[in-house]
Amino acid sequence: MEAPIDRGRAKNDRPGIPAGLKTRPCEGCLLLNKNPGRTSFESLFPVKKAFATGKVCHTGTLDKFARGLLVVLAGPAVKLASRFSGCDKRYRATVKFGEETDTLDPEGAVIAAGPVPERAALEDILPRFTGGIMQAPPLFSAVHVDGVRAYKLARSPSLRPGVPAGGSAKLIMKERPVTIYSLELLDWTPPLAELEVRCSAGTYIRSLARDIALALGSRAHLLSLTRTAVGSFSLDEAVSVSGPEDAGQGSRAGFESEPELESLRKALIPLNPELFARLGISCLDIGEKEAAAVSHGGSLRFLEGRAPEPPGSAEMSIPPKPAPLISAALFHGGSLAALVEKKNGVWSYGYVASGHSTLRRQFV
């Protein structure tokens, strides 16, 4: 008999991985305090190392110069990213009036200047930017334009269809609706203004600073930005990982401390009823027979008359957003079995736990 072919170590059997992680799958949510000088993608490196998996995602990008809360999902929980990315956000921003940069942040080149406004004028203008507004994303952003990220087009206009190599074309970002729930001036030390903003998902604080300045006949850019909350999740709950302020160019340096990696492992929040309640999703306990049916994508008729309306959360949005879907998290024996949705009277699977692929089959 031929000897079995050695196809190398399994991903979870690499040297240096704690023994418990070699057999225990990780799945859950991690609240991470992102350092400035590191992209959101780079900030995931220590999480991937701590849990020995590449199946990790964040649920809302923070710019490289920014700091603050990143909600990170690990393991099969990455399929739930949309449940977190739609949460409202809270920021603290330092706006520098008098100069606008091409990136609208401190890393860009100054492209325009204007007079520094008076405090009274700034306070008077802020209500105009509260509520539902139309906002154009920054040129240097991850928004797709003609199938290409806007920041790539800003750097290389020839990537746009119809623009020859070496050519140029002015990129116009389309406005889109966003909601500013609250906008408060915390401090004014000319030319710097410190603002606290609570806003809907998809809002660019860089664009908000630009538009406020233009309305005042001035120019501005962000000097610093801190995300302090995502929905009901607060920066105060987040775990930090030290390292160089600027990891730079995808560098993974500074993530070698085992105590810090262990702190990430301990901070992982399991997919439990408390977590889903913070997302405004109702939780239901189901029996063994129902759990077996769910694990195979079986009929959801047993939910008729049982699933309550989502509890909602004052921390999710003000005012509450319209909910086209009724969602419920199904638990069996304390473990998540599935996330289900009801639309137009029809129940469907949004997520099935226990290693099953996400299902989208509908059952009446």
What is the domain-level CATH number for residue 216? 3.30.2350.10
**In 3-state terms, what secondary structure has residue 141?**
coil
Confidence at 318, pLDDT banded by 50, 70, 90: very low
**Across residues 126-155, what is the average pLDDT?**
84
In tens, the pLDDT along 176-204 reads 999 999 999 999 999 999 999 999 999 99
CA distances from 191 to 130, 184, 220 (A): 22, 17, 9
Can you tell me whether residue 13 is helix, strand or coil? helix
Mean pLDDT of 104-123: 96
Residue 68 has pLDDT above 70, yes or no: yes
Q: Are residues 119 and 60 in the same domain?
A: no
Q: Could you tell me if 127 and 212 lie in one domain?
A: yes
Task: State the catalytic residue, choosing from 13, 63, 211, 285.
Answer: 63
* Mean pLDDT score, 58-66: 94
**Residue 63 a catalytic site member:** yes
- What is the token pair recorded at 110? 């100054």
**Are the C-beta atoms of residues 102 and 95 closer than 8 Å to each other?**
no
- Considering the chain, what is the average pLDDT of its residues? 81
Contact call for residues 264 and 241 (beta carbons, < 8 A)? yes
CA 177 to chain centre: 19
For residue 271, the 8-state DSSP code is S
pLDDT (0 to 100) of residue 362 = 33
Tell me, yes or no, whether 125 lies in a domain. yes
Beta strands in 67-191 (DSSP E): 67-74, 89-97, 99-101, 110-113, 131-135, 144-145, 148-149, 176-189
Residues 247 and 342 in one domain: no
Regarding whether 245 and 310 lie in a shared domain, the answer is no
The mean pLDDT value for 332-349 works out to 87
305 Cβ partners below 8 Å, 6+ apart?
A: none
Do 93 and 217 sit in the same domain of this protein?
Answer: yes
Same domain, 359 and 325: yes
CA distances (Å), origin 355, targets 26, 54, 145, 188, 337: 11, 16, 35, 52, 10
Rounded percentage of the chain residues whose pLDDT exceeds 90? 54
Q: Average pLDDT for residues 314-319, to the nearest whole number?
A: 43
What's the pLDDT at 355? 45
CB 148: neighbour CB atoms within 10 A?
13
| pLDDT-based confidence at residue 9 (cuts at 50, 70, 90) | very low
Residue 160 located in a structural domain? no
pLDDT of residue 327: 83
CB 60 within 8 A of CB 84: yes
**pLDDT of amino acid 98:** 98
Query: Is 237 contained in some domain?
Result: yes
Contact yes or no for 182/145 (Cβ under 8 A): no
Q: Percent helix, strand, coil in the chain (nearest 5)?
A: 25, 30, 45
Mean of pLDDT values over 5-17: 43
Is residue 98 domain-shared with residue 52, that is, in the same domain? no
pLDDT at residue 163 above 60?
A: no
The predicted pLDDT at position 310 comes to 52
Cα 141 from Cα 261, distance rounded (Å): 31
CA distance linking residue 338 with residue 331, whole number of Å: 7
d(CA 291, CA 285): 9
Tell me what pLDDT residue 274 has. Answer: 92
CB 86 within 8 A of CB 203: no
Residue 319 is predicted with a pLDDT of: 40
Residues 348/360, Cβ–Cβ less than 8 Å: yes
pLDDT for residue 353: 84
- DSSP assignment of 36-69, as one string? TTS-TTGGGHHHHHHHT-S-EEESS---TT-EEE
Are residues 240 and 286 located together in one domain of the fold? no
Task: Tell me the C-alpha distance between 346 and 311, whole Å.
Answer: 20
Please tell me the predicted confidence (pLDDT) of residue 311: 57
- What does the pLDDT read at residue 173? 85
Q: What percent of the chain has pLDDT over 70?
A: 76
Per-residue pLDDT, 248? 45
What pLDDT score does 258 carry? 85
Give the domain extent around 263: 11-87+233-267
User: Are 249 and 189 contained in the same domain?
Assistant: no
Pull the structure tokens for residue 24. 């225990």
Distance CA 139, CA 151 (A): 6
**Band (36; pLDDT cuts 50, 70, 90):** very high
pLDDT above 80 for 125: yes
Regarding whether 114 and 93 lie in a shared domain, the answer is yes
Do residues 230 and 40 lie in contact, with contact meaning Cβ atoms separated by under 8 Å?
Answer: no
Number of domains present in the structure of the chain = 3
Give the pLDDT confidence score for residue 169 in this predicted structure: 54
Alpha carbon distance 18, 22 (integer Å): 7
pTM over 0.95: no
Does one domain contain both 279 and 239?
A: no
Over residues 264-288, the mean pLDDT reads 91
